[in-house]
Amino acid sequence: MAGEPQDDCLFCKIVAGHVPATIVRETETTVAFRDINPQAPTHVLVIPKAHYANAAELAAADPALTADLLRETETVADEDKLESYRIVFNTGVGAGQTVFHAHAHVLGGRGMHWPPG
């Protein structure tokens, strides 16, 4: 069920403390941790504690939680002293989503070119 922890979800296991992660921030509704395969000097994942498969599902089900997650991306960027940064949501296999728990990638500390690819 949407919003409920999933036994087979890596990020739900991180939220529960069953899988270690380098946590940089935690709020009542979100957790932010360093990506284990960083694509930039700053690469932090910000996730809701509640399980939603992707950003679209999260936004449709819980707009307030979506706003919390986005606010946390800014806080992460501020704490890493990023002047500019990119927020990425991958939704679906074809877009590169590999963990099906909504999450935002906060990327910064190097030039971000357009188009991404």
Q: Which residues are catalytic?
A: 103
Q: Which residue has the tokens 């932090």?
A: 44
Phi then psi for 115, rounded to 5 degrees? Answer: -80, 155
The set of residues, in sequence order, having a beta carbon less than 8 Å from that of 27 and lying 6+ positions away, is 68, 72
Cβ atoms 2, 51 nearer than 8 A: yes
CA atoms within 13 A on the CB side of 57: 16
